[in-house]
Structure 1
Amino acid sequence: MYLHRLELRAIGPYPDLVSIDFAALAASGVFLLEGPTGSGKSTIIDAVVFALYGGLAGADASNDRLHSQHADPAVEPYVELVFETGAGVYRVRRTPQYDRPKQRGTGTVKQQASAQLFRLAGPADVAGEPMSSRIPEVGVEIARIVGLDKAQFLQTVVLPQGEFARFLRSPGEERRKLLQSLFGTQVYDRTADELAARRRAVQAEVDGADARVRDALNRFAQAAGVDEPDESGVQGTVAELRATADAAESARATAARAAAAAAEHEQSVTARAAALDRRAALLVRRALLDEGAPAVDAARTRLALGERAARVAAVADGLDAARARSDAATAAADALRSGHGVTVHGEALERQRATVAECRAAVRHLIAVEDGIPGRRRAIKDAAVRGEQLTARLAELDAALESRPAERARIVEDARAAAELAAGAEAARLEVDRVHRVRTDLVARAERERRVRGAEQAVTSARSAAHELVRAEQQLRERRIAGLAGELGSALAPGDPCPVCGAMEHPVVATPQDDHPTTESIDAAASLARRAEQDLGDAATVLAVERAELERLVQVLGDTDAATVDALAAAADARVAAVHDASVRVRRLEQQRAAHDEQTRTLERQRNEVDAERAVLAGSAAADTERLEQDVTAVRGAVERFAGHLDEAQGTLRAGVEQLDVLIARLDAVAQADDRAAVAAAAVRDRADEVERALAEQEFDDVSAARAGILDRADAERLRDDVARADRERAVVDAGLAEPAVIAAAEDDPAALDLAAARAARDETAAAADAATRVATSAGDRAAASEQCAADLALAISARDDTSARSRAVVRLADIAAGAPSVNPSGITLGTYVLMRRFEDVVAAANDRLRAMLAGRFTLETSDERESGSRARRTGLALAVHDQSTDTVRDPRSLSGGETFTVSLCLALGLADVVQAEAGGVSLGTLFVDEGFGTLDPETLDDVIGQLSRLTAGGRQVGIVSHVEELKQRIPERIAVRRTAMGGSRVTTTV
């Protein structure tokens, strides 16, 4: 990742716009970010981290310090960063959460944080393509684009204070997570997981295959009736069962054929006997039918005559009914004509009706006009009254509007006076806050006084304890020196030279005293003394810190006491209450002014509406009067028009139209009665023709003769029943005698049919066949079941062998990838093994720079063992420092400050080298270092700067954050941060 441009405003100590062109600064590979301590150098790094991840570089830093206290509160704070990765060029803009002044009134409102991400065509693109404006989405997209989360970014790209040496000192598991993200080796862990999943799957398949074999063998034993089944004896058992089943099937077939022959013989005898009995009964029924045949023929002839007579009588009844209807219709038409006084017939009647209907149609529409005339007259009168009312209302509204401006001016003046008083709200709030801080400092001063007294007592106790322990150590050492002769004498042996004088003879050998101190006891006493001295130093440090804080509080508070603070608090509270009351009055007066203005607008709207209504009303009154006169004239003409069609004159148009409706209804009724009479006469003629045709077709001379041949319903039904019954009986008898079995029975001798013997033979052979069938079925089912189970067993055994063969390779690969001790003695997983090789490259690259920076004194070494003191699983990423000057291996945490800085820097640069060269890895084109150069001696500093300068060949950028004066002479490209007289800071860029 490369940084191109950074812009920020109202961030940290920078109240104004700051723009930094990293692309120009890093043209030589190394640039310096320098300035006094606390001037805001780290804020530049914080701005970069905040733009990308929405947080600050420090682990314990809070975003609250992002908004500059030196900037105008109304100015929006923001950070905008243009950067480039392998995925393209992007611009991200973020604003932190901050409090801004309200647009109306006093006080502040919290402005929420925001984020925007754009994809750019190039670093100079000022517009770009928007990608997202939602903070969670922007975070996800940047992590995807950069390839690092915030913690990884702080260990590989931006190395802030307190975070620089974390990768050097971190345990192997944390290194594994970081390296896995940087090198993209998650595929190997996923491969191991996939192999483990496949191992579980194939192991389950093997277990399932074994279970299926056992299940199939048990089912075969149950089917074959074997107590202890064996896979090798399955086929022999199946062959034995099949032979037994075949023999039983042969015996069953023989018994079945014998039973079938006996049953067939019994059925034949039974059928011949039944046919012989049936033939005899049918012959008796046929004789009885022959005796009753003449009576049936007579009934059939009488029925045919009655049916022909009934057809003629039905047509004659229709003729009588038509004549009756025709006479009734003619009489009704004559009576209706006489009652309505209508004398015309035919076309004259139709012409009279059309004339009356035309007159009614011409005047009917004027009925509604006639009905509305009284209402319209009342409306004209009401409109005149309404006009007078509107004129009076208009005068009232004009008078009310004239008094409105003066009343509004009074409300506005009162509101202005209240607003001037409420304008001191912020000052009152600040005064309350100040009094609260003073009260807090008073409480803190009392607490500090108590803690100082406690710290003084702790120092006194620690000093006394340290003095006693040091004196005890001194006494032990003096006693040991005093008894050193005895210690030397106890170590002498005959023939050994004296360690003091070298003599071989020892006439009087000194002996140690019983309480002579040992080296171990002296070392223990020294250790206790050193610990006591350290405790004394810690207690003295705490006392100094507490005294410094107490002195600061005393200087801040001066002579201020609780009574003074209470008086200040009461005054501040009273001021806040007054401002609050004024604010409430301002809001109330504003509401009154708004209500007054709304009421004024309502009065103006009402005045305009009343004036408009009065004008419209005056204009329409004359037109309504003129139209009314015209309508009255038209109604009178209509009444005169229809008077000629009525016998009596009508007073209103509605009554005349109603009389015309009555006249038309009478004419329609007479015409309809005439039509019904004509239709009835035509029907009589048609029915008479039908009677003549029916007499001819049914062969009767007249209607009387036909009516004489009609049968009543009871006689007809009785005759039909007799004929139908005889026909059915004759059909049944003829069909029965025509059956083949009945015809064949004519030749049988009843004495030759022995039915009892045939039934006995059938029963005996059927019982034998059933017994043979049961035996054959049982044997066949057992043989078939055992054959099926044997086939299933063979398939299960084959599947088990195939599964076992396939699983062996998968299980071994999975165990190797997972670091199983049985096949992988090192216990290192596949993903960790790949990372170890990458980590070895990182360490090798770091050692190349270490040799140049520290003259080959230190080299880094990797190990596949656990970290010292760690109980975690083996990661294979342990790290140690080999000190070539003493030929010892040291823990990285034992290095001094300057050594830690140099080794950590080489490790970070080596990590960047390998990741940059690794295909598919994260591009680490920019590196920021924010600590440690002040711990280096001039010679080492020169070597370090030389190594950083060589990064230009690889295209990387290194930004050094430091206030070391010597670096200004060595690095020409720099960003200088200086405090201003107003309390903020400014940035000057030198390229």
Structure 2
Amino acid sequence: MIPVKLILSAFGSYAGREEIDFEKAGAGIFLVSGDTGAGKTTVFDAITYALYDQTSGGKRDGNMMRSQYAGLDTPTFVDFTFRYREQLYRIVRSPEYERPSRRKGKDGKPGTTVEKAKVSLYLPDGSEFMGKKGEVNRKIVEIIGLDAGQFTQTVMLAQGDFLKLLYARSDERKEIFSRIFQTDIFAQIQRKLREKARALYGQIQDAKKSEEQEVSHIFYPDEGEYKERIREAVLPQDRQEILKEILKEGTGREKGILKEAKKIQEALEQLNEDLAKAEQLNENFRRYAEAEKEVRDLQAQEDRMEEVKKQLERCGQAEKVQGVYRLFEESSRREKELEESIRQLEMIREEKNREGKEETERKSKTEQKLEEGRQTYEKFRQQAAALTEELEKRKDDKVRLTLSRTREQEAQEKIRQIRVILERFPDLRKLEKKKQKTWNDLEEGKGIYEEAMKEYFLKNERFLKEQAGILAGGLEEGTPCPVCGSLHHPSPAVLTGEPISQEDVREARKKRDLAECKKDEYQQKFLEAGQAYSAAVKVVTEEGKKVTPDLPEEAALMEAFLEKETVRKEEILEERRKEREEAEEAVKRREELEEKQKGLVKCQEDVYMQMEEYRLKIQETDHCLRSLEQERSRLEGEKEARIKELERAAKEKEALRCKFRETLEEEGFSDEEAYIESLLDEESKTRLQKEYDDYGQRCIEAKSRQDTWQRALEGKTEQDTTEMKERKRSMEDKKEELEKEQKIWYSRNENNRIVREHLKKICEKLEKLQEDYTCLGTLDQTANGNLSGAVKIDFESYVQRQYFRQIIGFANQRLNIMTGGAFLLKCRALEDLGMRGNAGLDLDVYSMETGKVRDVRTLSGGESFMAALSMALGMSDAISRSAGGIQMKTMFVDEGFGSLDDYSREQAIGTLRNLAGEDRMIGIISHVTELKESIDKQLIVTKTKKGSHVRWSL
């Protein structure tokens, strides 16, 4: 990466637009010089900020880099163009910051506005990379190959961080080298080996747990001997042999139980057969006894059954008489019915005559009412026609009222909206006053801070000069200077005559820090107050534009405009009210007429309905009179027919009475009472007949069973089965116990067989897993640096050691020249790393004079600078020579040369010149006067009261 052009605008100490064309300087080294605080480091900060959104030191982000000298119209941004692999890239980045607004408040002072952070990346083909801020940042890291931390350790050696790479721990160098030399593939191999080894180990442990779990399921014939042997067995094969013995003993016990149970079953079957025969014989004797008893019981019922037979015969004779008697009763009932019917017909005829007279009178009255209704209906119809004509003339009254109400509501809503907005202005004025107060506090705080800063710089400079004069007072020609080590002292410092203590300097610095904190606090309050005021103005403006598009943009004019608008809207509202009242009066009159019209129509409808009712009543009366006449004629004819029928019924009744008396005598009944006593109801008759028939059938069946059992049991006796049943119960109990015991042993043996099969499979699996783990575990421990008895260095670190040794080799080429061969850097040998973790990239110093090795942290300030510079140069060489490596053809060094003596400084500058050659660029920031004399190409930074400026001196 080589910088081409850098443009800074309102960034850091640069108030306006500053452009640095690096192509003017070309390849080689150049010096960045200028006064303290002028903005030399800001140049490098801008490059790091453009690339990574942070400064080279990492202590400030872009949001803090807005120049305090910048004008209102000057934007803050960094525009950086660089070349990488012969391709041009350009990135433009601006932070989020708050600046004074161009608009002024009521008090005439400016407000504030917030500029959002932006970033744009332009690719070599001129197109802009499309992505959000995070995506652009990742794309830049992808292009260059370094993140911000790695960039500042290898390319942008920032002030205060120069020695980080030199003093970095082994694991910190590992992270840097992993990205630069793309050794993550070896870390992935480590992780894969570790994951596979852990997975295999986990499977082995799972298999062992499964084995123990299966062993816990074993059932033992003898808890003592077998269980102890299983517990003491070391190999899975031994456990299987013991389990084989357990299965053999368990199977033998199960077979013995089955054999004994079979013998008991055979004896039990013979006993069941004998017991069944005895019980069947006893059952036959019981049935014979039951048959004898049943015959005796039936014989005891013979007298009663004879009486039932006679009762059924008398009932049959009475039923013959009953037929004639029922005909006589029916004839008597018919005669009475005809007499009652004739009487009812006479009563109905008289009622119909009365109803005819009433209907005739009702018809006359209804005809009179109908005529009166016709006259009333005609009067209402004429009145309704007149009202309809008047309502037609007022048909638009309701439309006019609706329109006037709508217009009045719109005017009221406008006034309400304006008043709501006006209610916000007291709070708005409070926010504006608060913003102005914080602005005044900020200006006052800035003044106090600047005074404290000036006082601190003056006292610090006086203190340094006084200390230099004190040190110079003890210098002697030929004696080394305690500061720079020089033997010659051509221009020693002198005492100023104005003594000042270090405590005074500390006090001044403390006041400056307090003033700076107070200023930052005021600035934060001003930003918050400005944001609150701007947000409130925005809300009022947006709401006001919805009500009246002519609202002024200035907040100071809005309130007066809205108050005038309220007065104008109220005048319009008054006009709308008058329109609405006139319309309401017209509509009210129309509604009164409509209501009156409805009343007339209702009256018409009522009169018409009454007329219709009268017409219907007249029609109904006519129909009723005709029906009454027809009914009277029908009743007269029916009465004559009933009288004739009654005469026939009386003759028939007398004949049946004679027939009934004759039948009683024929059937042997002395009188009507004897006949009635012999009658039975159907249910009783059926019940007695069934009882008689069932009795005869039961007698036949009982006698037959008695004879059958008597022949079957001839010559046989009953048996006693008590002893046989007792023996059966005993044998069944014994059999049940044996079956339970057999099931237990079968279950145990089956369980042990399953356990044996499972243990066999687990054993085979465990052997394979342990065989695989033996190989893979060794690879894992070796690759991850965990092998017992070996150096704790992992695979990636081992590969990186080769790059590290290469970097050190390149670094020592430069360091040998700079130090005159005084010492070299050395990668710590493997045998010296010990057994601690994260080792392999440790750095030592080898003294050429003593031949001893010491820690790199024992170097002096000048030695450390040269060693760190050599390391940075060595890394650059290693990177550029790596196949497909990162091409960093630029280096920036911020300070550090002040710690070198003249000889070392000349050697370092010479080394850098040789390194730069014709295709590299190296920039140096330094206050050392001798560097200004030895480096021709200089970027000069000039500090003014209105901001800094840069220019090339070539």
TM-score (norm 2): 0.60
Deviates more, 1:436-445 or 1:147-156: 436-445
Q: Is the 8 A contact 2:29 2:912 kept in 1?
A: no
Q: Which amino acid aligns with 2:810?
A: A
Three-state SS of the structure 2 residue aligned to 1:68 is coil
Describe the shift of the 1:74–1:6 C-alpha distance in structure 2 as closer, same or farther (beyond 3 A): same
Q: Distance in 2 between matches of 1:735 and 1:813?
A: 103
Q: Distance in 1 between matches of 2:252 and 2:69?
A: 108
Describe the shift of the 1:612–1:799 C-alpha distance in structure 2 as closer, same or farther (beyond 3 A): same
Q: Is the 8 A contact 2:55 2:62 kept in 1?
A: yes
Q: Which residue of 1 is the match for residue 48 of structure 2?
A: 49
Q: Distance in 1 between matches of 2:935 and 2:704?
A: 135
Q: Distance in 1 between matches of 2:182 and 2:270?
A: 89
Three-state SS of the structure 2 residue aligned to 1:16 is strand
Q: Is the 8 A contact 2:157 2:894 kept in 1?
A: yes
Three-state SS of the structure 2 residue aligned to 1:751 is coil
Describe the shift of the 1:662–1:875 C-alpha distance in structure 2 as closer, same or farther (beyond 3 A): farther
Deviation at 1:443, TM superposition (A): 12
Describe the shift of the 1:152–1:204 C-alpha distance in structure 2 as closer, same or farther (beyond 3 A): same
- Asked if residue 258 in structure 1 is aligned to residue 222 in structure 2, the reply is no
Q: Which residue of 2 is the match for residue 910 of structure 1?
A: 874
- After TM superposition, list the pairs within 5 Å mapping 1:313-712 onto structure 2: 429=441, 432-433=444-445, 546=501, 593=560, 596-610=563-577, 613=580, 652-659=603-610, 662=613
Deviation at 1:11, TM superposition (A): 0.8
Which of 912, 925, 929 is 1:944 aligned to? 912
- Asked if residue 222 in structure 1 is aligned to residue 220 in structure 2, the reply is yes
Q: Distance in 2 between matches of 1:34 and 1:330?
A: 145
Which of 794, 800, 803 is 1:829 aligned to? 794
Q: Is the 8 A contact 1:33 1:962 kept in 2?
A: yes
Q: Which residue of 1 is the match for residue 717 of structure 2?
A: 751
Which of 804, 809, 823 is 1:839 aligned to? 804
Q: Which amino acid aligns with 2:776?
A: V
Q: Distance in 2 between matches of 1:731 and 1:288?
A: 11
Q: Which amino acid aligns with 2:157?
A: L
Identical counterparts, % of pairs: 19
Q: Distance in 1 between matches of 2:687 and 2:761?
A: 78
Q: Which amino acid aligns with 1:178?
A: I
Q: Which residue of 2 is the match for residue 171 of structure 1?
A: 169
Q: Distance in 2 between matches of 1:591 and 1:15?
A: 35
CA offsets 1:620-660 (integer angstroms, 9 cap, x no match): 899x69x969x999998x89xxxxxxxxxxxx324314425
Q: Which residue of 1 is the match for residue 677 of structure 2?
A: none
Which of 792, 796, 808 is 2:774 aligned to? 808
Q: Distance in 1 between matches of 2:49 and 2:187?
A: 32
Deviation at 1:222, TM superposition (A): 3.2
Deviation at 1:980, TM superposition (A): 7.0
Q: Is the 8 A contact 2:32 2:923 kept in 1?
A: no
Q: Distance in 2 between matches of 1:732 and 1:84?
A: 130
Q: Which residue of 2 is the match for residue 877 of structure 1?
A: 841
Deviation at 1:436, TM superposition (A): 5.6
CA offsets 1:65-120 (integer angstroms, 9 cap, x no match): 62212211453322344668899967452314345347442667776674334454
Deviation at 1:879, TM superposition (A): 1.6
Q: Is the 8 A contact 1:157 1:924 kept in 2?
A: yes
Q: Which residue of 1 is the match for residue 947 of structure 2?
A: 984
Q: Distance in 2 between matches of 1:421 and 1:919?
A: 65
- Asked if residue 150 in structure 1 is aligned to residue 153 in structure 2, the reply is no
Deviation at 1:720, TM superposition (A): 7.8
Q: Distance in 2 between matches of 1:607 and 1:174?
A: 82
CA offsets 1:270-298 (integer angstroms, 9 cap, x no match): 35644664587579879969999998999
Which of 106, 118, 123 is 1:116 aligned to? 118
Three-state SS of the structure 1 residue aligned to 2:153 is helix
Q: Distance in 1 between matches of 2:704 and 2:137?
A: 103
Q: Which amino acid aligns with 2:570?
A: L
In the alignment, structure 2 segments of 5+ residues that lack a partner are 231-237, 331-336, 412-429, 475-494, 513-553, 635-679
Q: Distance in 2 between matches of 1:263 and 1:143?
A: 98
Which of 268, 271, 279 is 1:270 aligned to? 279
Aligned residues: 754
Describe the shift of the 1:661–1:927 C-alpha distance in structure 2 as closer, same or farther (beyond 3 A): farther
Q: Is the 8 A contact 1:90 1:117 kept in 2?
A: no
Q: Is the 8 A contact 2:13 2:67 kept in 1?
A: yes
Q: Distance in 2 between matches of 1:790 and 1:421?
A: 91
Q: Distance in 2 between matches of 1:280 and 1:69?
A: 134
Describe the shift of the 1:778–1:41 C-alpha distance in structure 2 as closer, same or farther (beyond 3 A): closer
Describe the shift of the 1:632–1:945 C-alpha distance in structure 2 as closer, same or farther (beyond 3 A): same
C-alpha root-mean-square deviation of aligned residues, in Å?
A: 7.0
Describe the shift of the 1:190–1:602 C-alpha distance in structure 2 as closer, same or farther (beyond 3 A): same
Q: Is the 8 A contact 2:77 2:92 kept in 1?
A: no
TM-score (norm 1): 0.58
Q: Which amino acid aligns with 1:75?
A: T
Q: Which residue of 2 is the match for residue 9 of structure 1?
A: 9
CA offsets 1:442-494 (integer angstroms, 9 cap, x no match): 9999xx99x99xx99xx99x9xxx9xxxxxxxxxxxxxxxxxxxxxxxxxxxx
Q: Distance in 2 between matches of 1:667 and 1:261?
A: 110
Describe the shift of the 1:776–1:960 C-alpha distance in structure 2 as closer, same or farther (beyond 3 A): same
Deviation at 1:43, TM superposition (A): 1.1
Q: Distance in 2 between matches of 1:673 and 1:866?
A: 140
Three-state SS of the structure 1 residue aligned to 2:717 is helix
Deviation at 1:10, TM superposition (A): 0.8
In the alignment, structure 1 segments of 5+ residues that lack a partner are 314-319, 345-351, 398-417, 467-539, 558-586, 640-651, 682-713
Q: Is the 8 A contact 2:183 2:796 kept in 1?
A: yes
Deviation at 1:269, TM superposition (A): 4.0
Q: Distance in 1 between matches of 2:698 and 2:881?
A: 112
Describe the shift of the 1:194–1:147 C-alpha distance in structure 2 as closer, same or farther (beyond 3 A): same
Deviation at 1:155, TM superposition (A): 0.5
Q: Which residue of 1 is the match for residue 419 of structure 2?
A: none
Deviation at 1:552, TM superposition (A): 12
Q: Distance in 2 between matches of 1:368 and 1:968?
A: 121
Three-state SS of the structure 1 residue aligned to 2:13 is coil
Q: Is the 8 A contact 1:275 1:745 kept in 2?
A: no
Deviation at 1:590, TM superposition (A): 7.1
Q: Which residue of 2 is the match for residue 862 of structure 1?
A: 827
Deviation at 1:259, TM superposition (A): 1.1
Three-state SS of the structure 2 residue aligned to 1:15 is strand
Describe the shift of the 1:715–1:154 C-alpha distance in structure 2 as closer, same or farther (beyond 3 A): farther
CA offsets 1:39-82 (integer angstroms, 9 cap, x no match): 42321211122234433222555767622122114533223446
Three-state SS of the structure 2 residue aligned to 1:605 is helix
Q: Is the 8 A contact 2:792 2:836 kept in 1?
A: no
Q: Distance in 2 between matches of 1:663 and 1:95?
A: 100
Three-state SS of the structure 2 residue aligned to 1:124 is coil
